[in-house]
């Protein structure tokens, strides 16, 4: 016969269990907006792919001579669409994030050979595409870490995954340096004061500052939020007007989808960095209150 344990419950053990349950609930409930943007961007890419029957050129680097290119384009679009919907739904969010992470990783690797060759010729365009695709991979990795149960290895790497986005921001700045004169300035609306060239340089510097903050952890939450706002600004001021002016142009549709996906990844990372910063400071506040 099993003997009942009549000893008094340990308050410390109860608090530990409460904190574990609380953390698990925070990870399982979708409380940030970035995940919805991440899923929505994949849905947009999927719909554009299904309508056009093509990849998101020039970002998804699949050449015209690839066997079964047409069916692969439709398959990619279908994966983006279904995975994007899955990300938005709480019960399937982790599966969707994992699927998109794998898909974006494939397109990152497809750019790697060309980037390796071009870097020796002092060309950065292909390497820039590597890190644009990789930024979306980082967003997926962070989501997988957030949506995985505590106790596994994934949640412990959430901060590391988020910090990888700093490397992507560094690359964005380098791309701007290569394109600033004169290409980049031409994409900036002429009506935006004080000048197109000013914003070309300002956004370039912002990318480098954000990279430094995220990689070092100094003012990282603020920097990640401002970086997200900057990329969203590109969407509003550059890409949306382009597709409105030329709605039949496939390049502008996929440009909107890719930019939104990068902005979503930055959003997910900024949500993660802000939440982890609050969790890190919470024990200090609790300790201070306990000593009062």
The pLDDT value recorded for residue 82 is 98
Of 80, 190, 213, nearest to 140 (Cα)? 80
Mean pLDDT of 90-103: 94
Q: Kindly report the length of the chain.
A: 292
The per-residue pLDDT for range 195-236, each reduced to its tens digit, is 988 998 999 999 999 999 999 999 999 999 999 999 999 999
Give me the residue spans of the domains in the chain. 30-279
Mean pLDDT of 88-115: 94
- Residue 270 CB partners (closer than 8 Å, separation 6+): 34, 221, 224, 225, 227, 228
Inform me whether the pLDDT recorded for 92 exceeds 60.
Answer: yes
Q: Is pLDDT larger for residue 254 or for residue 29? A: 254
Global pTM value: 0.85
Of 174, 132, 141, nearest to 259 (Cα)? 132
**Backbone CA torsion sign across 97, 102, 107, 111:** positive
Inform me whether the pLDDT recorded for 23 exceeds 50.
Answer: no
Q: What percent of the chain has a predicted confidence (pLDDT) above 70?
A: 84
3-state DSSP assignment of residue 40: helix
Mean pLDDT of 60-86: 94
The pLDDT value recorded for residue 14 is 44
The pLDDT value recorded for residue 182 is 59
Inform me whether the pLDDT recorded for 9 exceeds 90.
Answer: no
The pLDDT value recorded for residue 16 is 45
The per-residue pLDDT for range 148-199, each reduced to its tens digit, is 876 778 888 999 999 999 999 999 999 988 865 557 778 889 999 999 889 9
The pLDDT value recorded for residue 75 is 97
Q: How far apart are CA 33 and CA 201, in angstroms?
A: 30
Q: Residue 33's pLDDT band (boundaries 50, 70, 90)?
A: confident
Inform me whether the pLDDT recorded for 2 exceeds 80.
Answer: no
Residue 144 near residue 154 (C-beta atoms within 8 A): yes
Q: Residue 116's pLDDT band (boundaries 50, 70, 90)?
A: confident
Mean pLDDT of 240-246: 95
Inform me whether the pLDDT recorded for 287 exceeds 60.
Answer: no
Average pLDDT, the chain: 85
């Amino acid at each position: 016969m099993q003997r009942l344990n009549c000893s008094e419950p340990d308050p410390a053990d109860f608090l530990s269990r409460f904190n574990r349950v609380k953390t698990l609930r925070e990870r399982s409930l979708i409380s940030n907006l970035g995940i919805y943007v991440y899923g929505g961007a994949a849905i947009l890419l999927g719909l554009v792919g299904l309508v056009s029957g093509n990849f998101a050129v020039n970002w998804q680097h699949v050449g015209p001579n690839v066997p079964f290119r047409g069916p692969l384009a439709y398959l990619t679009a279908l994966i983006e669409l279904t995975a994007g919907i899955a990300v938005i739904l709480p019960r399937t969010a982790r599966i969707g994030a994992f699927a998109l992470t794998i898909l974006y990783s494939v397109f990152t690797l497809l750019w790697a050979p060309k980037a390796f060759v071009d870097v020796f010729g002092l060309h950065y365009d292909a390497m820039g595409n590597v890190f644009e695709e990789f930024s979306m991979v980082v967003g997926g990795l962070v989501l997988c870490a957030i949506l995985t149960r505590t106790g596994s290895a994934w949640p412990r790497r959430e901060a590391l995954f988020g910090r990888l986005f700093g490397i992507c921001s560094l690359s964005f700045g380098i791309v701007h340096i290569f394109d600033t004169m004169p290409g980049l300035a031409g994409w900036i609306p002429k009506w935006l004061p004080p000048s197109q060239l000013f914003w070309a340089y300002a956004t370039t510097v912002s990318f480098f500052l954000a990279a430094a903050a995220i990689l070092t952890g100094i003012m990282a939450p603020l920097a990640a939020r401002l970086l997200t706002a900057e990329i969203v600004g590109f969407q509003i001021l550059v890409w949306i007007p382009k597709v409105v002016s030329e709605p039949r142009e496939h390049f502008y549709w996929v440009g909107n989808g890719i930019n939104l996906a990068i902005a979503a990844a930055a959003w997910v990372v900024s949500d993660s960095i802000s939440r982890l910063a609050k969790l890190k400071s919470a024990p200090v506040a609790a300790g201070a209150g306990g000593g009062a």
